[in-house]
Amino acid sequence: MGEVLGTGQEGARRRRSPDPDPRRRGAKGTLAMAALFALPAAGGAPASLPGPSTGEAILAAQPADVRERIRERGHIVLQEVREKGPLSGSIITAYVIFDQPIERAYGLLSQTARHGEFRPEVASIALVRATEHGPVDEQRLKILFRRYVYRVEYRLDPQRHRIEWSLDEDFDNDLAELRGLWELYELEDGQTLGRFGTSVDVGSGVPGFLQDWITRKNLPVMMKRVRLWVDSEGRYRP
């Protein structure tokens, strides 16, 4: 479990002045999630929402070789799209098959303070505050000789089995951009299909090889680890 952060000097030092116009902040969040929802499918066609509403329908919409690889490996990273402009960053999609029913898979993934259990690059996760939509966590990421501190605001939707996240804009984050989502769908055999999308931009001051590792190379490993973590009821450790 993650620790809980108070309102001490460190939290105050890293807090930015909030955008005075809440409509502008809300619009940016809406645009960010809309960009993820419009991620192309493996065959190149738009995977816009609303789309297939069952796990079988989503898998059936993929090319045969992709379906075979998902079933064989249990996970697959589909593609990466580079954006330009205010939503710049790497957008990456993936699918994971969890050997758990949908309610149990969602129940584990929604425990955001435990995500460090399958992500060894995360040094710590601490709850900053709880909102009506979900937690705001402070995460400390350690990669080689670099450390990054940032806060993630989650929106939990248990009815739709969806989890969305983005950076807390009131905090002086070390990452330039972070947003993503999990969408879970039931499969007929009692398993769960997870559709994952994320966009990360660590900023121009980070060496290229580090940005490449954070945004692309680490994702297949993380997808394998999160699958093992969920399948083991949260007992797996890398």
Domain spans of the chain, in order of start: 53-231
Rg value, the chain, Cα: 18
Give the whole-angstrom CA distance, residue 177 versus residue 88: 8
Please give the pLDDT value at position 78: 73
What is residue 129's predicted lDDT score, i.e. its pLDDT? 97
Q: Which amino acid is at 37?
A: F
CATH architecture of 53-231: 2-Layer Sandwich (3.30)
Q: Encode pLDDT of 58-73 as tens digits.
A: 999 999 999 999 999 9
pLDDT at 233 over 80: yes
Q: What is the pLDDT, as a whole number, of residue 199? A: 86
- Using the predicted structure, report yes or no on whether residue 198 has a pLDDT greater than 60: yes
- pLDDT value of position 201: 80
pLDDT of 120 over the 50 cut: yes
Residues 6+ apart with CB under 8 A from 157: 163, 164
Q: Which residue has the higher pLDDT, 231 or 121?
A: 231
Q: Determine how many CB atoms are found less than 10 A away from the CB of residue 129.
A: 15
| % of the chain residues with pLDDT over 90 | 52
Among the listed ranges 50-59, 91-100, 125-134, 183-192, which one has the minimum average pLDDT value? 50-59
List the beta bridge partners of residue 63.
Answer: none
Bridge partners, 181 (sequence order):
164, 197
144-165: pLDDT as tens digits: 777 889 999 999 999 999 999 9
- The yes-or-no verdict on residue 112 having pLDDT over 90 is yes
Q: Which helix (H) or strand (E) holds 137?
A: strand 135-143
